[in-house]
């Protein structure tokens, strides 16, 4: 997981830092399936491509 600080939010009015999306754990990738077509869709987190090496 990328540092826990990225899962906090600072309140504009008070400056108080609180947990954001409390209870959720980030994952690197997930496959979801379209309900009607059955098509799989891959969702990935972060930079998954090295642009200079893509042809």
pLDDT in tens, 8-41: 888 889 989 888 777 878 788 899 999 999 999 9
DSSP string over 5-27: GGGEEE-TTT--EEESSTT----
pLDDT bucket at 2, cuts 50 / 70 / 90: very low
45 and 24 in contact (C-beta within 8 Å)? Answer: no
Residue 18's DSSP bridge partners are 9
> What pTM did the predictor assign?
0.41
Q: What is the pLDDT at residue 35?
A: 96
CA separation for the pair 25, 19 (Å, rounded): 12
CA separation for the pair 26, 7 (Å, rounded): 9
């Amino acid at each position: 997981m990328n540092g826990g600080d990225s899962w906090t939010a600072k309140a504009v009015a008070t400056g108080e830092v609180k947990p954001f999306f409390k209870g959720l754990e980030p994952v690197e990738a997930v496959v979801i399936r379209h309900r009607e077509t059955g098509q799989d869709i891959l969702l990935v987190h972060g930079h998954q491509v090295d642009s200079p090496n893509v042809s």
